């Protein structure tokens, strides 16, 4: 049993702090939150929070742990090298205060299991396993036309690691989705339109017919879970909404119609403001100039779409960084909070990185890997995934993003950082 004394609490939801409480951690859960002081006696460890703020561990709903370099560079690595790099990336996430992430393209089930059983250090992972797309879609990461398919599938080395899968037609889509579910995917990721970082598919392309999208949703929902789609344009989003896709990754180029549909259907939107600004500044390596141009278009549109998100009061918004690259690129992860704060406001940024993600992840139902407590909030019975922050996050996220203000990082009741003692 562990006692945290003298804490204020941002609970992941409310725009006011709970003041001056003591918190009892029993193994990996929050047992009690008390306004009455609790006696230290009998506790194995006591942390005096000194009036700092306890808040839920951060959650990133759009990561690519295994993509620790540009795709054409990953193509030159062995799977073992990619695995070792992934473990290091995951450790960095936890040490930045991210206690849970959703990976949306990568063979992360082994890393997830290793972390959960103490063989590696990192956040809880909601794996999607391979991101599925049509031939010539955003997951078709063959780097050149010399890799034309003649007999069977000629996947690129990166595709062979299990980060991406190709499926065409209803029956192949059903099979590809079921294969990811067999591997332990907690949700399914598909590519439902053109990509900014992929070489051969223009941004405005529609990818997957309505029937193929419906096939993906059917196979996922039969397993109690949902489909997340990489998607940029309004026509692609309209088709995906009709198919029943519940998580729109990027959703950059919206019009009023689709914003209203998103609101009505309760579809979750996961924008990435900071990463696209990094790419626009050429700080993330991409394969060619045309890829930078696609990304710039997306970056500008995203800010316009943010106005529609406000206009139609879309509340199902989640924090997602979409970092692809080395340790330096991944280290920018917390800056997305500052970017969101600028686009929306402080409480929206904080909810997006905590309770909103937990709400999205609950759509995984029986495929949800962490069912013994709540994530993304500080409440009795929730998992003991928390940060102790010097400062009041509700007055600005800067204190959350600065490493020296993150005094304590706890995940699953285990302390990974403590500079208060
Ligand atoms: Zn992504």
| ipTM of the complex in this document | 0.94
Instruction: State residue 72's pLDDT score.
Output: 83
Q: H or E segment at 247?
A: strand 247-253
Distance 366 CA to ligand 1 centre (A): 24
Instruction: State residue 151's pLDDT score.
Output: 61
Residues 34 and 157 occupy one common structural domain: no
Residues 6+ apart with CB under 8 A from 371: none
Distance 402 CA to ligand 1 centre (A): 25
Distance 227 CA to ligand 1 centre (A): 14
**pLDDT < 50 regions, the chain:** none
Distance in angstroms between the alpha carbons of the first and the last residue of the chain:
17
Distance 131 CA to ligand 1 centre (A): 9
Distance 391 CA to ligand 1 centre (A): 32
Residue 275 lies in a domain: yes
Residue 359 lies in a domain: no
Instruction: State residue 155's pLDDT score.
Output: 76
Strands 53-56 and 386-389: antiparallel
Distance 67 CA to ligand 1 centre (A): 10
Residues 263 and 405 occupy one common structural domain: no
HSE (side-chain half, CA atoms, 13 Å) at 4: 34
Residue 257 lies in a domain: yes
Distance 64 CA to ligand 1 centre (A): 7
Instruction: State residue 157's pLDDT score.
Output: 81
Distance 270 CA to ligand 1 centre (A): 10
Residues 50 and 123 occupy one common structural domain: no
Residues 239 and 171 occupy one common structural domain: yes
Distance 248 CA to ligand 1 centre (A): 11
Residue 123 lies in a domain: yes
Tens-digit pLDDT profile for residues 21-36: 999 999 999 999 999 9
Residues 24 and 161 occupy one common structural domain: no
Residues 95 and 229 occupy one common structural domain: yes
CATH code of the domain containing 323: 3.20.20.140
CA atoms of 2 and 44, how far apart (whole Å):
6
Residue 338: Cβ within 10 Å count: 17
Instruction: State residue 377's pLDDT score.
Output: 98
Instruction: State residue 153's pLDDT score.
Output: 61
Residues 300 and 269 occupy one common structural domain: yes
Residues 209 and 316 occupy one common structural domain: yes
Residues 23 and 68 occupy one common structural domain: no
Residues 246 and 297 occupy one common structural domain: yes
Instruction: State residue 187's pLDDT score.
Output: 98
- Count of domains forming the chain: 2
Residues 211 and 283 occupy one common structural domain: yes
Instruction: State residue 186's pLDDT score.
Output: 98
Distance 107 CA to ligand 1 centre (A): 14
Sign of CA dihedral 211, 212, 215, 216: negative
Distance 277 CA to ligand 1 centre (A): 15
Residue 306 lies in a domain: yes
Residues 255 and 302 occupy one common structural domain: yes
Residues 6+ apart with CB under 8 A from 39: none
CATH code of the domain containing 32: 2.30.40.10
Burial class (CB in 10 A: 0-12, 13-18, 19+), 145: exposed
Residue 362 lies in a domain: no
Sign of CA dihedral 287, 289, 294, 298: positive
Distance 170 CA to ligand 1 centre (A): 24
Instruction: State residue 106's pLDDT score.
Output: 93
Residue 349 lies in a domain: no
Distance 250 CA to ligand 1 centre (A): 8
Could you say which of 319, 344, 369 is where a domain stops?
344
Instruction: State residue 161's pLDDT score.
Output: 85
Instruction: State residue 281's pLDDT score.
Output: 74
Domain boundaries, position 166: 58-344
Instruction: State residue 192's pLDDT score.
Output: 97
């Amino acid at each position: 049993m562990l006692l945290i004394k003298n804490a204020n609490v941002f609970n992941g939801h409310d725009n006011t702090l709970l003041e001056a409480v003591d918190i009892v951690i029993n193994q990996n859960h929050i047992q009690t939150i008390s306004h009455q002081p609790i006696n230290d006696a009998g506790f194995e460890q006591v942390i005096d929070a000194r009036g700092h703020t306890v808040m839920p561990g951060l959650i990133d709903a759009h990561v690519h742990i295994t993509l620790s370099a540009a795709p054409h560079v990953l193509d030159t690595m062995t799977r073992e090298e990619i695995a070792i790099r992934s473990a290091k990336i995951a450790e960095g996430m936890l040490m930045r205060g991210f206690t849970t992430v959703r990976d949306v393209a990568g063979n992360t089930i082994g890393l997830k299991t290793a972390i959960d059983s103490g063989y590696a250090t990192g956040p809880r992972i909601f794996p999607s396993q391979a991101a599925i797309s049509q031939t010539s879609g955003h997951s078709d990461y063959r780097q050149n036309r010399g890799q034309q398919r003649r007999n069977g599938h000629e996947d690129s080395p990166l595709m062979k690691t299990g980060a991406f899968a190709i499926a065409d037609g209803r029956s192949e889509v059903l099979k590809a989705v079921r294969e990811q579910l067999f591997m332990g995917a907690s949700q399914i990721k598909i590519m439902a339109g053109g990509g900014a970082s992929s070489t051969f598919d223009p941004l405005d392309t529609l990818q997957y017919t309505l029937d193929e999208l419906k096939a993906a949703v059917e196979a996922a929902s039969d397993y109690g879970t949902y489909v997340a789609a990489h998607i940029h344009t309004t026509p692609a989003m309209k088709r995906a909404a009709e198919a029943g896709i519940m998580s729109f990754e990027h959703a950059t180029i919206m019009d009023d119609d689709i914003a209203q549909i998103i609101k009505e259907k309760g579809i979750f939107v996961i924008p990435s403001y900071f990463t696209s600004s990094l790419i626009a500044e050429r700080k993330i390596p991409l394969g060619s100039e045309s890829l930078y141009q696609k990304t710039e278009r997306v970056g500008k549109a995203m800010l316009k779409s943010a106005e529609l998100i406000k206009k139609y009061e879309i509340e199902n918004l989640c924090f997602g960084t979409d970092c692809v690259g080395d340790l330096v690129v991944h280290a920018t992860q917390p800056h997305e909070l500052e970017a969101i704060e600028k686009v929306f406001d402080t409480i929206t940024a904080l909810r997006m990185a905590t309770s909103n993600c937990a709400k999205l992840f609950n759509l995984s139902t029986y495929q949800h890997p962490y069912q013994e407590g709540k994530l993304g909030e500080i409440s009795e019975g929730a998992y003991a995934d928390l940060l102790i922050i010097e400062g009041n996050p509700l007055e600005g996220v800067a204190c959350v993003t600065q490493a020296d203000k993150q005094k304590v990082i706890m995940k699953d009741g285990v302390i990974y950082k403590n500079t208060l003692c």
